Structure formats: structure tokens, C-alpha cells
């Protein structure tokens, strides 16, 4: 892993030239996050660019680089839901778990590389608090033909 970044999470985000987007609105009957004990559990988040779902299938219609970028965008959206739950990035005590589903060709085996796009960005923003356990799996289909779906569990 990279060395721990310095500064506050907000300063790190700004240094990366990024802003947290508005949290995603549910597309069906569910909450964008639930607080249980000291945990914030986000619903699955699809990657969005200019308000549109990034659709595709890794290993068929999308490159690994495009998947990594989509993972980064989804991580920012999921993190924005966590921030909505706790107030600020500084109040995120740590990430516990990230789950990523990658819509991909049957012979595609680079799901961990796609998930690293999100994992590395979360550590760049949150420092050690961004380190997390992780699952990255390939699936045949996702809602709205999204290329991936990401969920976070965070401590507040």
C-alpha cells in the first residue's frame, strides 16, 4: 500500500482535484444507507458520469482502465452517502468492508484490479481509516446494465 497521506480527508480530496458528488438517490424502494450501532451500511451504488450510469461489460465492451475509473466514481458516490450519514469526512472513523460486483465476460478474472481503483482512492482520501476488508466478484448482470456496483460499510 502507498504511504499514509497527510492532511485532513477534505484537504486530501481537494489535493486530488476531486469533490464529493451529491449522494445518489434511490432508484427503487430502499434507503441509500442505514445506521446500525456504530456502522453506516450503504446500499449498492452504481457508477455515474454526468448523471448517467456507466454501462458495459468488463472484458467485452469495457477496458480494465475504464472499469478502474468507474470504480473510482462509484467509491466517491458511496463515500458521499457515508458522509451524509455522519456529517463530514472527518467523522468517518474507518471503513470496515467494501463489496464490489463487476459485470463482466465469463472469462474475465481481473475483478480485484477493478476494485483496486476504488480501494486506492478511499485510502488516498481517508488515509489509514480508508483501509478495509473487501470482496470483488464477477457477475453476469447488474441493474441498468451498470458495469459495477459498490457497497461500503463504515464506522462512525
Q: Decide if 66 is inside a domain.
A: yes
The string of pLDDT tens digits covering residues 87-113 is 999 999 999 999 999 999 999 999 999
* Average pLDDT of the segment spanning 119-131: 97
Q: Decide if 63 is inside a domain.
A: yes
Domain count within the chain: 1
Q: Decide if 4 is inside a domain.
A: no
Question: What is the CATH classification number for the domain harbouring 76?
Answer: 3.30.1330.40
Q: Decide if 110 is inside a domain.
A: yes
Q: Decide if 30 is inside a domain.
A: no
The string of pLDDT tens digits covering residues 38-72 is 999 999 999 999 999 999 999 999 999 999 999 99
Q: Decide if 142 is inside a domain.
A: yes
CA distances from 99 to 10, 59, 112, 115, 153 (A): 24, 20, 11, 9, 9
Q: Which domain holds residue 94?
A: 9-22+38-155
- Judging by beta carbons within 10 Å of its beta carbon (0-12, 13-18, 19+), is residue 75 exposed, middle or buried? buried
Amino acid at each position: 500500500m502507498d504511504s499514509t497521506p497527510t492532511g485532513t480527508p477534505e484537504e486530501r480530496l481537494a489535493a486530488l482535484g476531486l469533490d464529493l458528488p451529491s449522494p445518489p438517490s434511490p432508484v427503487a424502494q430502499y434507503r441509500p444507507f442505514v445506521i446500525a450501532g456504530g456502522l453506516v451500511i450503504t446500499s449498492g451504488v452504481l457508477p455515474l458520469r454526468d448523471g448517467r450510469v456507466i454501462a458495459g461489460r468488463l472484458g467485452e465492451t469495457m477496458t480494465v482502465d475504464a472499469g478502474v475509473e468507474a470504480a473510482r466514481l462509484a467509491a466517491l458516490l458511496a463515500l458521499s452517502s457515508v458522509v451524509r450519514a455522519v456529517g463530514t469526512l472527518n467523522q468517518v472513523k474507518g471503513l470496515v468492508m467494501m463489496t464490489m460486483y463487476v459485470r463482466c465476460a465469463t472469462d474475465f478474472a481481473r475483478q480485484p484490479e477493478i476494485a483496486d481503483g476504488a480501494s486506492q482512492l478511499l485510502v488516498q482520501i481517508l488515509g489509514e481509516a480508508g483501509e478495509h476488508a473487501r470482496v470483488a466478484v464477477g457477475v453476469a448482470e447488474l441493474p441498468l446494465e451498470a458495469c459495477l456496483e459498490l457497497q461500503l460499510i463504515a464506522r462512525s
